[in-house]
Amino acid sequence: MFSTKHLMLALVATFVTATAGAQQFVAPEKQGAPAGAPELSSVWKLAAPIDTLLTAEGKAPPLNAKGAALYAKRVKARKAGKPIDDVTLQCLPHGLPRLMLSAYPFRIIQKPTYVAFVHELTHYFRVAYLNEKPKVADDVDPTYTGYPVAKYETDSLVLNSNGFNDDTTLDRSGLPKSAGLLLTERYKTLAGGKQLELSFTVDDKAFYSKPWTARVVYDRVDSNQGFDEYVCTDVNPEATRK
Q: Is the pLDDT of residue 31 over 80?
A: no
Please state the pTM of the whole predicted model: 0.84
Per-residue pLDDT at 133 = 86
CB atoms near residue 79 (< 10 Å)? 10
Range of lowest pLDDT (9-18, 40-49, 211-220): 9-18
Give 121's pLDDT tier (boundaries 50, 70, 90). very high
pLDDT in tens, 62-106: 999 999 999 999 999 999 999 999 999 989 999 999 999 999 999
Q: Is the pLDDT of residue 208 over 70?
A: yes
Question: Using CA atoms, how far apart are residues 238 and 230, in angstroms rounded to an integer?
Answer: 14
Return the half-sphere exposure (C-beta side, CA atoms, 13 A cut-off) of residue 213.
Answer: 10
CA distances (Å), 139 to each of 134, 142, 220, in order?
11, 9, 37
Q: Is the domain defined by 34-240 classed in CATH 2.40.128.20? A: yes
Written as one letter, the residue type at 91 is C
Question: Using CA atoms, how far apart are residues 151 and 172, in angstroms rounded to an integer?
Answer: 29
| More confident call, 9 vs 120 | 120
Question: Using CA atoms, how far apart are residues 94 and 100, in angstroms rounded to an integer?
Answer: 9
pLDDT in tens, 146-196: 999 999 999 999 999 999 999 999 999 999 999 999 999 999 999 999 999
Phi and psi, residue 40, nearest 5°: -115, -5
Positive or negative CA dihedral for 189, 195, 198, 199? negative
Domain ranges of the chain: 34-240
DSSP 50-94: -SS---TTS----B-HHHHHHHHHHHHHHHTT---S-GGGGT---
Per-residue pLDDT at 241 = 54
Phi and psi, residue 25, nearest 5°: -100, 125
Per-residue pLDDT at 219 = 98
